[in-house]
Structure 1
Amino acid sequence: MPAHNTLRPGGNDGAGDPVAIPVVTSSRGQHGRRLRRAGAAITAGGVAIALIAACSGETTSSSSEGSSNGADSIVEAVAALPTAFAYDAGAFTYEGFEFQINTQAQLIRNPIVTADRADGSQEQDFFKFEGELAESYDVSADGLTYTFHLRKGVKSFAGNELTADDVLWSYERKWNSTSVAPAISAPAITDPAKQFKKIDDYTVSITIDRAGDGFTLLSLLANVSGDIFDSDLLKQHVTTDDPYAVKWSAENGNFGYGAYVLDNWKSGQSLTLKANPNYWAGEPAIKTITQRVVANPGTRTNLLTNGDADIAVQLRPQDVNGMKDDDSLQTFNIDSIEYLNTNINIKKAPFDDKLVRQALSYAIPYDEIMKQVFLGRADAMTGFINPRYPGYTTDGLRTGSYDPDKAKSLLAQAGVSGVSAKILVENSIPALEEAAVQIQSYAKDAGFNFTIDKQPATAVQDQRSNGTYDIQLVTDKAISQSPPYELLLAFTKGSPLNATGFANDAYYAAVDKGVAAGDPLSEAAGTAWNEAVKIWQDEQPTVPVAFIQPNVVFGAGIDGYYYRSDSAIDFAALSKTQ
């Protein structure tokens, strides 16, 4: 393992013996930093809250929905509410991620740093790890066994203490109740029943097959796919038809060890989170979070500028750009890993010919999309994986450029005189349609005649799953920032996440070569990642357009925002001044 970790694995410290490095138990709020103004540190407190089980449909509680008045409450204007309350229950939307990171917790997490760019905001350091539910971990001398030492006395909102049994049962559930966890966790985690072992009530070991998968393992454990559940509570709701209470947890939100609990739910209207008095890092400064559904992004913007909301998310790039010079508001400048991407259905003619896919890569007006759609709040891409991976190089890779003559030449080589196809976009993300319009306009001169197919999220997913789309414009990212994870996530042969149908043995061999290097952040591994991306760029199953900045704006009185790999907001890191 590399020496990039804050919570550094032992095993190669000179003596060859594992060394556990403890982590200070501190509030995440202390990591926060606003772009324009420093704020108060998070403080801990204790407030008794009655448990109100969240359920589908409408529920009510005696508590207020919260307002933007008061230093301990925040109102967030959102586009929608979560479709489920657990990752393995189908909570894959932005709203689902935001709910999970605030109500759940993982064994470890990424620490917070300042972005390495002018006026950079706070963001996660994707290449280091620190303790969360585990206060430390160590690694065997051969790099194959990771042992996690759980914090003692950590309790869920229901009052059940975290133990090794919760860790093992959580992963048993992930593997036996959903196909998503195995698909995103391989090859680091392939069989928890064999790899996970309870040493004692507060110690768990995880064994991997290859030392080079260790960084991927840690990255997986540090995001929502690694949520640890209160197994005592969930087992109370197990049924014959629902042996792991997945259906129950899709509709009931309070079964984790996170900083907040679900207090109030009004279907299609709002939800309220309350601070968890049992949170291991101390009760957060913000006691109440109210998410109010406002479907129109312009209206979300108005609520923020009028002071009726403290935070607005999933805004239009032009609205964010228009607020960047307003001293009463905050926009953020980060090294984004989220990007605008074009998925191509390579099993469908004429896109089954790589020359046509290469032609498409020259038919996209990258600069115009960055200027006209994202108004400069975007960065050009070379390849598709994070160019800031330590040890990685983009040498020999092509940065996207619009060249209609080149596109026509490639179509001619393919024996295709023109291409008529649909661009599939999700109708709840304004920037997607705007970018699709740019592509539709400019691609005509490159031999492509596109129509735009706007669909709700469920219909988009159906077309992806059924393989009926032509090309899809989507915002994408890898929430685990491990090079082999990012290279394989959407391209593993037979994976349900492989929407393009791409499979290439030489590509997989290059990824295996990088893993075999041992340290995925070494130059030796970086050369292999470069080799894999060159193969991908030749085959062109996707065409990434640009890294894009988060379309989130805060009121000036909110401190502590940092950019996460899942793009969601960690409310426990926030504080508020009047």
Structure 2
Amino acid sequence: MKHLLASTAVLLALTLPAMAQEYTPDPAAKQGGAMVMTYKDDVATLDPAIGYDWQNWSMIRSLFDGLMDYVPGTTDLRLGLAESYEISEDGLSYTFKLRPGVKFHNGREMTADDVKYSLDRVTLPATQSPGSGFFGSIKGYDAMVGGTATSLEGVVVVDPLTVRIDLSRPDATFLHVMAINFSAVVPKEAVEAANGDFGKMPVGTGAFKMTEWTLGQRLVFARNTDYWRAGEPYLDQVTFEFGQEPIVALLRLQNGEIDVPGDGIPPAKFTEVMGDPAQKARVVEGGVLHTGYITMNVTAPPFDKVEVRRAVNMAINKARVVQVINNRAVPANQPLPPAMPGYTADYAGYAYDVEAAKKLLADAGLPDGFETDLYAMNTDPNPRIAQAIQQDLAAIGITANIQSLAQANVIEAGGAGTAPMIWSGGMAWVADFPDPSNFYGPILGCAGAEPGGWNWAKYCNADLDKAAVAADSMSDPAKSADRLKAWSDIYMQVMEDAPWAPVFNDQRFTMKSDRMGGADALYVDPIATVNFDYVYVK
């Protein structure tokens, strides 16, 4: 057996102790105190099988745990509810040993049966989990989603503290899948007692437990005194206040009434904040596994011609677009963001070149350009970004009529294939986990091009789909460099085909009060928006 602990391959005996990468505690951290965070909107759900937005993702991570986890503030895997695991030589079987004595918030000890129940639940069609597809490599998944089974064949309870997961194909991303919220372990009795409303009555094994939820007003988490990670979390309480406009939240932060404005720095106030040394000192900046891009529907003229799509890439003045958002991003030249493994560092992308773009249009038989529609979400700053893109396209003869619509309407048009071009801002892809495969299947693969999918370019390259499957079958850590090279090659071919014009990679900016301690990376955690488990009151 190959025994691996948090991405470190060790060919040793079967039960190597859990000595994977761990977080080095901040020596200044201390337990006690509370923090207040605001949001404009209430949370939709705290059910880990359902929640799938930037707002509830961090909250869910603090209420629940999975078999695997991430080192706080990083994209490095570490052990979670599993104290060790083994992978078979063929990469098709993962055996997880669970930590003994871990308790749910209701006081019951967690067992391997809970792991199986949770994975069965997230893949049952009745649950309607948006994350079901992440488990497609588990044996029996197709039968589950097809309605011919109610239990995953590949998830086997070996004993109360051991679970084996058998795959139908090697999957190099599998340990990352075991670390995302959708894999969180939940107690069956609490789900059933909630009678369909587990998202409002969450029970997990996490560092915090929910103690109050007044809909539309406030949500309160209290420290889980039985938490299995000794000494964690630091805070006694986290309160989320809803109905706070971002401008008001900023004023309250300045007045010392709150600790973190959850919606970030209002765009209209960004320059003012950054120009004031006292306020700038509270600003926290970090990279995001995000790319904002323009999609072009490759199935309909004129974007069925690669010359046209390449011309659009060359027409966009990305540096100017970034200026529109006060330089809160960096220009992008490929689908993957720079912090993502597999990013091709020596690739320059399409140069901004108006004359070369015009020539490409002429080569495509469109010397006088054409008229089209550019869809964009109607919340600031997206209409302003769309106008900048519109001006760039006009310079090469493309008249782009902006369709500024609510997010749901843009997503609907993209899924239906009725939008010739879409600026993805506000809906752009942020990685579910730090692996290059996560930027392909849903938004560039053939499966995502189906009606209702998130591949709004309707781009489908069957050869690249095969290459993607082959890359993710390289589950041997010794081949990780080969696998990342394979993914790099895939994205370079995507850029040759040019279904997108990548525009920028976001930088996340937020603020914290002077009383809050903890590394800045915890407030702009690449995996969770804020890592509540490790921040503290000074």
On whether the aligned pair clears a TM of 0.5, the verdict is yes
Task: Find 2:43's aligned residue among 58, 69, 82.
Answer: 82
Amino acid of the structure 2 residue aligned with 1:379: V
| Partner Cα separation in structure 1 for residue 370 and residue 252 of structure 2 | 43
Deviations 1:48-81 (A, max 9, x none): xxxxxxxxxxxxxxxxxxxxxxx61212122322
Report 1:237-316 matches (<5 A): 237=194, 247-250=196-199, 252-281=200-229, 282=231, 284-294=233-243, 296-314=245-263, 315-316=265-266
How far residue 152 of structure 1 moved from its aligned partner, in angstroms, is 1.5
SS in 2 for 1:180: coil
The residue number in structure 2 matching 1:448 is 398
The residue number in structure 2 matching 1:195 is 154
Aligned: 1:385 with 2:336: yes
| Partner Cα separation in structure 2 for residue 18 and residue 385 of structure 1 | 37
Moved more, 343-352 or 77-86: 343-352
The residue number in structure 2 matching 1:553 is 511
When residues 157 and 142 of structure 1 are mapped into structure 2, their CA distance, relative to the original with a 3 A threshold, is same
Name the count of aligned residue pairs.
511
The residue number in structure 1 matching 2:144 is none
The residue number in structure 2 matching 1:155 is 103
SS in 1 for 2:424: strand
Amino acid of the structure 1 residue aligned with 2:525: R
How far residue 356 of structure 1 moved from its aligned partner, in angstroms, is 2.6
Asked if the contact 2:42–2:242 (Cα under 8 Å) also holds between the matched residues in 1, the reply is: yes
When residues 366 and 485 of structure 1 are mapped into structure 2, their CA distance, relative to the original with a 3 A threshold, is same
Asked if the contact 2:47–2:198 (Cα under 8 Å) also holds between the matched residues in 1, the reply is: yes
Asked if the contact 1:380–1:399 (Cα under 8 Å) also holds between the matched residues in 2, the reply is: no
| Partner Cα separation in structure 2 for residue 141 and residue 259 of structure 1 | 35
Moved more, 476-485 or 218-227: 476-485
Aligned: 1:573 with 2:526: no
Identity over aligned residues, as a percent? 23
Aligned: 1:407 with 2:368: no
Amino acid of the structure 2 residue aligned with 1:135: E
| Partner Cα separation in structure 2 for residue 559 and residue 454 of structure 1 | 41
Task: Find 1:544's aligned residue among 499, 502, 507.
Answer: 502
Report 1:6-155 matches (<5 A): 7-8=6-7, 13=11, 17-23=13-19, 31=25, 40-43=28-31, 72-89=33-50, 91-112=51-72, 123-124=73-74, 126=75, 128-155=76-103
SS in 1 for 2:163: strand
Amino acid of the structure 2 residue aligned with 1:40: A
Amino acid of the structure 2 residue aligned with 1:276: N
Deviations 1:324-372 (A, max 9, x none): 5634643234343223222333344433333332222122221112233
How far residue 175 of structure 1 moved from its aligned partner, in angstroms, is 0.9
How far residue 386 of structure 1 moved from its aligned partner, in angstroms, is 4.3
When residues 382 and 405 of structure 1 are mapped into structure 2, their CA distance, relative to the original with a 3 A threshold, is same
The residue number in structure 2 matching 1:357 is 309
How far residue 19 of structure 1 moved from its aligned partner, in angstroms, is 4.7
How far residue 158 of structure 1 moved from its aligned partner, in angstroms, is 1.8
Asked if the contact 1:261–1:276 (Cα under 8 Å) also holds between the matched residues in 2, the reply is: yes
When residues 360 and 293 of structure 1 are mapped into structure 2, their CA distance, relative to the original with a 3 A threshold, is farther
Report 1:190-229 matches (<5 A): 191=141, 193-211=152-170, 213-214=171-172, 216-229=173-186
When residues 42 and 229 of structure 1 are mapped into structure 2, their CA distance, relative to the original with a 3 A threshold, is farther
* Shift >6 Å, 4+ stretches: none
SS in 1 for 2:152: helix
Asked if the contact 2:68–2:79 (Cα under 8 Å) also holds between the matched residues in 1, the reply is: yes
Report 1:428-507 matches (<5 A): 428=379, 430-470=380-420, 471-474=422-425, 475-495=428-448, 496-507=453-464
SS in 1 for 2:177: helix
Task: Find 1:424's aligned residue among 357, 362, 375.
Answer: 375
Task: Find 2:320's aligned residue among 368, 391, 394.
Answer: 368
SS in 2 for 1:149: strand
When residues 264 and 426 of structure 1 are mapped into structure 2, their CA distance, relative to the original with a 3 A threshold, is farther
When residues 457 and 23 of structure 1 are mapped into structure 2, their CA distance, relative to the original with a 3 A threshold, is farther
When residues 435 and 253 of structure 1 are mapped into structure 2, their CA distance, relative to the original with a 3 A threshold, is farther
Asked if the contact 1:312–1:553 (Cα under 8 Å) also holds between the matched residues in 2, the reply is: yes
Asked if the contact 1:422–1:450 (Cα under 8 Å) also holds between the matched residues in 2, the reply is: yes
How far residue 319 of structure 1 moved from its aligned partner, in angstroms, is 3.8
The residue number in structure 2 matching 1:119 is none
SS in 2 for 1:379: strand
Asked if the contact 1:394–1:530 (Cα under 8 Å) also holds between the matched residues in 2, the reply is: no
| Partner Cα separation in structure 1 for residue 61 and residue 255 of structure 2 | 28
When residues 111 and 94 of structure 1 are mapped into structure 2, their CA distance, relative to the original with a 3 A threshold, is same
Asked if the contact 2:5–2:84 (Cα under 8 Å) also holds between the matched residues in 1, the reply is: no
Asked if the contact 2:250–2:261 (Cα under 8 Å) also holds between the matched residues in 1, the reply is: yes
| Partner Cα separation in structure 1 for residue 303 and residue 515 of structure 2 | 50
| Partner Cα separation in structure 1 for residue 484 and residue 21 of structure 2 | 34
Amino acid of the structure 1 residue aligned with 2:90: D
How far residue 392 of structure 1 moved from its aligned partner, in angstroms, is 5.9
| Partner Cα separation in structure 2 for residue 310 and residue 72 of structure 1 | 12
Asked if the contact 2:37–2:241 (Cα under 8 Å) also holds between the matched residues in 1, the reply is: yes
Deviations 1:271-296 (A, max 9, x none): 22222333322552222222223564
SS in 1 for 2:512: strand
When residues 335 and 25 of structure 1 are mapped into structure 2, their CA distance, relative to the original with a 3 A threshold, is closer
Moved more, 290-299 or 512-521: 512-521
| Partner Cα separation in structure 2 for residue 509 and residue 518 of structure 1 | 16
SS in 1 for 2:90: coil
When residues 226 and 466 of structure 1 are mapped into structure 2, their CA distance, relative to the original with a 3 A threshold, is same
Asked if the contact 1:153–1:161 (Cα under 8 Å) also holds between the matched residues in 2, the reply is: yes
Structure 1 regions of 5+ residues with no counterpart? 33-38, 44-70, 113-122, 239-246
Asked if the contact 1:155–1:162 (Cα under 8 Å) also holds between the matched residues in 2, the reply is: yes
| Partner Cα separation in structure 2 for residue 280 and residue 534 of structure 1 | 44
SS in 2 for 1:96: helix
